[in-house]
């Protein structure tokens, strides 16, 4: 079943190529949605995919988004959201 998650990332997450890394990983996993910087210093991710795929994506985020970068994810906040039928994953 397709699921929609709203994810907020806290820590040293802006200005450190995290959005590009998240976009790459989402595309690699077949996830659609978007990622953007928020004025409060967090990074916000909307993601849609099969539940099992999103579970592994969230695990990857909680592990610190391994794969490079100078970012440090201190906290990952997740809530279920409303399905929006994204057609791709993009940086906003």
Neighbours of 56 (CB within 10 A): 14
Q: Which residue numbers are catalytic? A: 19, 37
Pull the structure tokens for residue 83. 């399905």
pLDDT tens, position by position, for the chain (92 residues)?
999 999 999 999 998 899 999 999 999 999 999 999 999 999 999 999 999 999 999 999 998 766 556 788 999 999 999 999 999 999 99
Q: Can you give the pTM of this predicted structure? A: 0.93
Tokens of 22: 């998240």
Closest CA to 18 of 86, 81, 66: 66
Residue 29: alpha-carbon gap to chain centroid: 12
């Amino acid at each position: 079943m397709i699921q929609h998650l709203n994810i907020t990332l806290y820590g040293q997450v802006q200005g450190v190529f995290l959005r590009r890394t998240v976009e790459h990983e989402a595309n690699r996993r077949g996830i659609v949605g978007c990622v953007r910087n928020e004025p409060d210093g967090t990074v916000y991710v909307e993601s849609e995919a099969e539940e099992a795929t999103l579970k592994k994506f969230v695990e990857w985020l909680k592990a610190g988004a391994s794969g490079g970068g100078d970012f440090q994810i201190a906290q990952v906040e997740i809530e279920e959201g409303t399905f929006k039928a994204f057609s791709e994953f993009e940086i906003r």
